[in-house]
Structure 1
Amino acid sequence: MSFSRIKRACAVALFCLTLSATQINAQQKRTKGCLTECQPRIGIVSAFGGEAEVLLAETINKQEYVINGNLYTTGILRGNHVVIVLTGISIENATMVTQLTIDHFNIHHLLLSGIAGGVNPDYKVGDVLIPRRWAQPLEVYWSANSNVPAPCGTPRDLSCLGLKLSRFTSQPNSDYQIPTPNGPVGTGLFMRDTFVRNNSNFPNGEFKFDYAADPEMYAVAQTIAPKLDRCGPKNPSLCVAVQPRIRRGGRGISGPAFLANPDYRRYVFKTIRAVSVDMETTAFAHVAYANEIPFIAFRSLSDLAGGDDFTDVSALFASGLAESNSSRVTLGFLEAWSQKYPE
């Protein structure tokens, strides 16, 4: 065979190989995230069982799947194809179940709804929050004192450890300080950023302190105005003292600790203007960002985290007020979303 023919044969082979790879990649892209079912859906992750029951009752054309012991329900909710799953409490469960949802279903948007403790002292039990951003301040560098950490030789430099100090705790005494009669005592807990990698920032990845809710989803959430309950549907005699409101904006926070410490609550409110605290949402947001899936989250306030006044807590839970108000916001959002982006 002549050299020219060999070149033509190689060129044809290379073209066929390239075409084959392109077809495989396209097929992989089409089937990504649907090991179980490939209908494009909004993934709804609920951290509170009562609210999931309300959403499921409103869902039509339901079908159930059990995946790794988690019950997933697909169907149509307020005009949207959805899949609904309960995470259970904790950062670990929220991370695992959210990723499992993305892997097994064709998720184009994610929504989380549940209960949280209040951090902003002006907010009330029964309010439903729609934060603009989500952070995890208990991702920390735990130093020996309140001096700016310098494990790699220079203050603030954690690069030799593969870490990055948060901009919020980059000064001396910016760690969490415990108030005492003799003045504040530093704990050495300096907030840091979290490393995350996705297709857009590959191969270097990036460090992030918080994750922003999707602008389009947040814009739709700005338009809804469902009427929130003051007295719960299960027991109308149990009512909160102040009419609940939807509170938009601010920074929600999450962590592995159940926050019942008023001093730390005041610290995160002052330092990062946190508005609520829970044990799932930032993990959910991290997984959404890592998979480049738009997300939003709603949280109904159960109490002031670490507060002494639990007067309204029994009304919130025993009356069904918690799930009623959070589900009203979720359903209002889904209805507005389907009107703006009909399927």
Structure 2
Amino acid sequence: MRLLTVLIAALLAFAAPAAAAGRLDATPRTAVVSAYAPEWPALLAATTDQARYTVNGVVFVTGRMEGRPVVLFLSGVSMVNAAMTTQMALDRFAVSRIVFSGVAGGVDPALGVGDVVVADAWGQHLEGAFLREGPQGFVPGPWPPERVAGFGMIAAGPVELPRGDQPPERRFWFPADPALLQVAAWIAPAVPLKRCLAPGRCLSHQPKVVVGGRGVSGPVFVDNKAYREHVAAAFQAKVLDMETAAVAHVAYVNRTPFIAFRSLSDLAGGDEGANQIETFLTLASENSAAVVRAFVGALP
């Protein structure tokens, strides 16, 4: 009898993690994701009926934004954190769609700080290879099999996605959902964006929302003019950051509609003076959040 009791206790202990890994909430919700704390306050303030859950140190906040059921969380900075936490949200909540809200570095010279970019596709600008150098320059190697024009030794290429017993799918661009892009284009002209943080702390232009174009992500903070120009030319990108392409990748694999709103906090090294992220981080975060709130309110 004592042995049976021990065995039952052991089986229950073994089963506990599986039970804990189940759904925390069954309500279909829009996941609203930001990378790190400064991007979060305006979104949290707009969320009512809040309930909090913590999973492996990640805080998830359920509630209602503009009357729609949402779950908010911070992805953490960089690609691995973003992929991990997004998959965690999909496993624990009934996520209908994923919406990213945050700041980014501007790449397109036509854009300025405070503008909000809603790209229609995202890729990874540092997924690929560092090439060896030969007498005639950098030598193409066996990987990646298809390359984007390189920046010195850096050659970017597609990622491979598993397909069971079939050959893996090679993909560079991960698309935003077309229906969600239509909603974004519909609400964009009517959203008021901030130009000033305080008297004397104003942008020289009125920010705007741009729907369409490409964005790229990588595990580095880019503050280099030459690399910024490379990204604009090689990828025809408007914006770059450190998380969105990873979230788009996870959404694609899980067949979950996805869209991202990124407001420019700096120009990724293209600024005339010092990097402006510390000056305009709050303004950019609030501009992104304003567009996201209008977007969520327009969802069916």
SS across alignment from 2:38: helix
Match of 2:295 among 333, 338, 342: 333
Residues 141, 165 of structure 1: 8 Å contact kept: no
Match of 2:245 among 264, 277, 282: 282
Describe the shift of the 1:202–1:236 C-alpha distance in structure 2 as closer, same or farther (beyond 3 A). farther
What code does the residue aligned with 1:297 have?
A
Describe the shift of the 1:322–1:48 C-alpha distance in structure 2 as closer, same or farther (beyond 3 A). farther
Gap regions ≥5 residues in structure 2: 1-20
Q: What residue number does 1:131 align with?
A: 119
TM-score by length of 2: 0.85
2: distance between equivalents of 1:50 and 1:228?
18
1: distance between equivalents of 2:162 and 2:261?
25
Residues 89, 279 of structure 1: 8 Å contact kept: yes
Question: Which has more strand, going by share of residues?
Answer: 2
**1:266-281 mapped onto 2 (5 Å cutoff):** 266-281=229-244
SS across alignment from 1:100: helix
**1:76-225 mapped onto 2 (5 Å cutoff):** 76-145=64-133, 146=137, 149-151=140-142, 158=143, 163-166=144-147, 169=148, 174-176=149-151, 187-197=152-162, 203-224=166-187, 225=189
- Please state if 1:316 is matched with 2:297: no
1: distance between equivalents of 2:88 and 2:278?
34
2: distance between equivalents of 1:34 and 1:130?
33
Describe the shift of the 1:222–1:147 C-alpha distance in structure 2 as closer, same or farther (beyond 3 A). same
How far off its partner does 1:150 sit? 4.8
Residues 116, 263 of structure 2: 8 Å contact kept: yes
How far off its partner does 1:175 sit? 2.0
SS across alignment from 1:222: helix
2: distance between equivalents of 1:110 and 1:197?
22
2: distance between equivalents of 1:241 and 1:205?
48
Match of 1:300 among 232, 247, 263: 263
How far off its partner does 1:82 sit? 0.6
Residues 129, 298 of structure 1: 8 Å contact kept: yes
1: distance between equivalents of 2:98 and 2:40?
15
2: distance between equivalents of 1:308 and 1:295?
30
Q: What residue number does 1:20 align with?
A: none
Q: How well do the aligned residues superpose, as a CA RMSD in angstroms?
A: 2.0
Residues 74, 84 of structure 1: 8 Å contact kept: yes
Residues 228, 270 of structure 2: 8 Å contact kept: no
SS across alignment from 1:228: coil
Q: Map Cα deviations across residues 158-208 of structure 1 (whole Å, 9 max, x no partner).
A: 5xxxx5323xx3xxxx321xxxxxxxxxx232211001236xx86433010
Residues 61, 71 of structure 2: 8 Å contact kept: yes
Q: What residue number does 2:214 align with?
A: 251
How far off its partner does 1:79 sit? 2.2
1: distance between equivalents of 2:104 and 2:141?
35
What code does the residue aligned with 1:175 have?
G
1: distance between equivalents of 2:244 and 2:67?
25
Q: What residue number does 1:227 align with?
A: 192
Residues 34, 102 of structure 1: 8 Å contact kept: no
| Aligned length, in residue pairs | 274
Describe the shift of the 1:130–1:292 C-alpha distance in structure 2 as closer, same or farther (beyond 3 A). same
Describe the shift of the 1:220–1:71 C-alpha distance in structure 2 as closer, same or farther (beyond 3 A). same
Residues 120, 269 of structure 1: 8 Å contact kept: yes
How far off its partner does 1:101 sit? 0.6
How far off its partner does 1:140 sit? 1.6
Gap regions ≥5 residues in structure 1: 1-32, 152-157, 177-186
Residues 48, 115 of structure 1: 8 Å contact kept: no
Describe the shift of the 1:116–1:193 C-alpha distance in structure 2 as closer, same or farther (beyond 3 A). same
Residues 265, 280 of structure 2: 8 Å contact kept: yes
Q: What residue number does 1:3 align with?
A: none
How far off its partner does 1:51 sit? 3.3
Describe the shift of the 1:66–1:313 C-alpha distance in structure 2 as closer, same or farther (beyond 3 A). closer
